[in-house]
Structure 1
Amino acid sequence: MDVIKAKVRKLRKMFSRKEEDLSCARKEDVSKEDLDEMSRRYEEELQIYSRKVKQLEKEKNDLLIRLSSYAAARLTNENPYNTDLSNQNRPNKLSERYSELYDNHWTDAFQNLQDKHHLSETNAIEFLLDVLFVSFDECKNDRLRESAIEALNEYIGSEKDDPQDLSVLEVMKTLKDTKKRNIKRMQKVFKIVENRLAERKIYTTQRLQDIRPYLDECVELCFLMNIQEPPLELRGLMYTTGTPFDDSAFQPYTKSGKKIEYVVWPAMHLYRDGPLLCRGIAQGMPDPYISRRA
């Protein structure tokens, strides 16, 4: 933007010099033909420079508008309480997808593991929980989390970039390139997750194939959760057997109790130690005294 201002000032100085030259020529003993030719040439140059100044001022104003929009968008996106209804990947929308992931894909995958691969209930639950946490851990990588904003930050914020090079087409290209880069990163995460799971014998190729819709949605959703600013948080591993059952964060799986036996589905939070977005599912441990009386 400073470069544009400098160019405008330079062109205006050139206008002044041309006008002074023309004025001096009129005062001196210059033939009418030469004076007319000089006047015509200067007039043409003046029109060219005038168009350039208008174009530069338009670019400057467009740039100011884009930068203002970018600043406003960044403030909105970095606000964890963002309620922009046009944003399909806002935290509330992601929490809805997270709930649907359990209600739909998790249920189907669980049924496949039991019916086709004869896993016990607890083994199938552990299998699917591992898939979710491995996906989340890989997507939590800082380089992945920052990839959604790094290109635009580098383009606008880098000192080595000349502001005069900033155009609407280039900004749009940057955003498209960022989106393509994120898609490639997500595809890479799919492969990393599969490789990590394949390290354990229980995760055979056929079993992973039979839960493919669940696996794909886990990776995509975890990726979107981790490019939020700040990233969303899944909490479940810290709730070990015997941990007090927190009714505000979890709902019972098939049994209630004052303590947790195991976590079936983690709770989702707006950010680390932040407000709860979606309750998890946990198996409760029945009170032994009540069980004996029953």
Structure 2
Amino acid sequence: ECEVLHQRLNEVNETVLKSESDMIALNNAWRETYLKLQQDKERELLEITTKWINHCKEQDQHHSKENEQVHHSVEILMSEKDELLTRLSKIAADRLQHGNVDIADLSDPDRPTKLQDVYTELYDNEWTDAFEELMEQRNVSDTCAIRMLLDILMCSFRMCREITWCRYERLKNVLASIVIAERNPFSSAMKVMSDVPVPGVVNQEKNTREQFGNNNEIEDQKVAKESEELLGPNLGASSKNKIENEKEMRFECSLDLDISLEKQIKDIWQRTTMALKEKGLKQLSYVMETSMDIPYRFLPMTSKYLMICIDLCWKMGVKEKPLHLDCVAEKGVGAEKRFDNGNFRPYTQSGENVDFVVWPALFLHEGGPMLVKGVAQGCSSNKK
């Protein structure tokens, strides 16, 4: 019986061992299956994540590109808007400034307020230096020196104004005649393009050149020739007659040009006239030198004063309404004439009457508001 039990026990042990072995094998198989499944899921999740990340990147790039396109479109629209606003503002400003010189163009470096400052500094600085130089080097009286400096300024003013304004009239005539010719090819305005006279400067024949020496004779002859070529042989009364002739010929050309065309004419005139400024200054200084019998080459301060006068008057003339200089220091008529304290201030002596004018008053335009007071010497009422 013990043997039977012992045999039975061995069988049970074998069964237990087999069961344990089967359990271990099953457990290993399950673990392998679980690990494989886990790896598959992780791989699948990684693929899904990678695809999603790539998709998000593509979407982000697409949206970024769209955003750039939209931003670029916005910039273009804003630029077009700014351009339209600028054009609108320019048109509005042109309409506002057209014919109204009291409104200054702040973009103009030579606007009246700037020229006003230059005019004031010219009297305070260069005029004083030239005045002292003339009295010392030329041995002239103070009254004579004042008169010479005043003549230099007023001669520069008249010559520059005639030259610059005649150029404006001629340019306006030609452009207006083109407009008329487009409307009526048989219009007499076509003659304006070929018949408009050219204003000029007086051909100076004085022999005062000898006092300047012969070192620059060739250069002077060249300048004189250029002066006649650019400015013509006549200035003064004949040039005024030519201006009147131009105005008569403009009768048919005096149509109402729109503001934009007027602005273009003005811009072209100002650019071309200012482009000729340096050459004009040299030639005008030659004319002034030969006509006024002043040896500027030996008077550096007076020469500097002359050049600034011509430069300033040239800029004053290149305006829709040129700045104006006035030497009339008295108001009233006949025996009622008195010192004009509104537009002039005393030089070294005040009085009811005017002895002589030292410095002209500057006005925004002829008949316009005053910018700078003039200077005049006063005297008592009984002084002749």
TM value normalised by structure 1:
0.60
> Which amino acid in 2 is paired with 1:99?
T
Residue correspondence of structure 1 range 171-190 to structure 2 within 5 A: 179=271, 181-185=273-277, 187-190=279-282
Shift of 1:72: 3.5
Partner of 1:125: 146
Q: State how many pairs are aligned.
A: 218
Tell me the secondary structure at the aligned position of residue 276 of structure 2. Answer: helix
Is 2:89 the counterpart of 1:73? no
Partner of 1:92: 113
User: Contact 2:327–2:361 (CA<8 Å) still a contact in 1?
Assistant: yes
Partner of 1:113: 134
Change (3 A) 1:264 1:225: same
CA offsets per residue over residues 169-225 of structure 1, 9 Å max, x none?
A: xxx9x9689635423145324423431442233x12435544122111111111111
1:284 pairs, out of 368, 378, 382, with 378
Shift of 1:94: 1.5
Change (3 A) 1:156 1:208: farther
2:349 pairs, out of 245, 252, 255, with 255
> Which amino acid in 2 is paired with 1:90?
R
Shift of 1:254: 0.4
> Which amino acid in 1 is paired with 2:276?
K
Is 2:330 the counterpart of 1:226? no
Partner of 1:267: 361
76-85 or 258-267, which deviates more: 76-85
Tell me the secondary structure at the aligned position of residue 273 of structure 1. Answer: coil
User: Contact 1:146–1:227 (CA<8 Å) still a contact in 2?
Assistant: no
Alpha-carbon distance in structure 1 between the residues aligned to 2:174 and 2:270:
12
User: Contact 2:273–2:318 (CA<8 Å) still a contact in 1?
Assistant: no
1:145 pairs, out of 165, 187, 199, with 165
Tell me the secondary structure at the aligned position of residue 108 of structure 2. Answer: coil
User: Contact 2:329–2:376 (CA<8 Å) still a contact in 1?
Assistant: no
> Which amino acid in 1 is paired with 2:165?
R
Alpha-carbon distance in structure 2 between the residues aligned to 1:71 and 1:147:
27
Change (3 A) 1:271 1:175: closer
Shift of 1:273: 2.0
Alpha-carbon distance in structure 2 between the residues aligned to 1:146 and 1:74:
25
Unpaired stretches in structure 2, ≥5 consecutive residues: 1-82, 183-263
Alpha-carbon distance in structure 2 between the residues aligned to 1:192 and 1:147:
16
175-184 or 246-255, which deviates more: 175-184
Partner of 1:213: 304
Shift of 1:137: 0.5
Partner of 2:283: 191
Change (3 A) 1:97 1:205: closer
Alpha-carbon distance in structure 1 between the residues aligned to 2:140 and 2:275:
33
229-238 or 267-276, which deviates more: 229-238
Unpaired stretches in structure 1, ≥5 consecutive residues: 1-61, 162-171, 290-294
Alpha-carbon distance in structure 2 between the residues aligned to 1:103 and 1:221:
15
Alpha-carbon distance in structure 2 between the residues aligned to 1:271 and 1:181:
19
Tell me the secondary structure at the aligned position of residue 228 of structure 1. Answer: coil
Is 2:314 the counterpart of 1:235? no
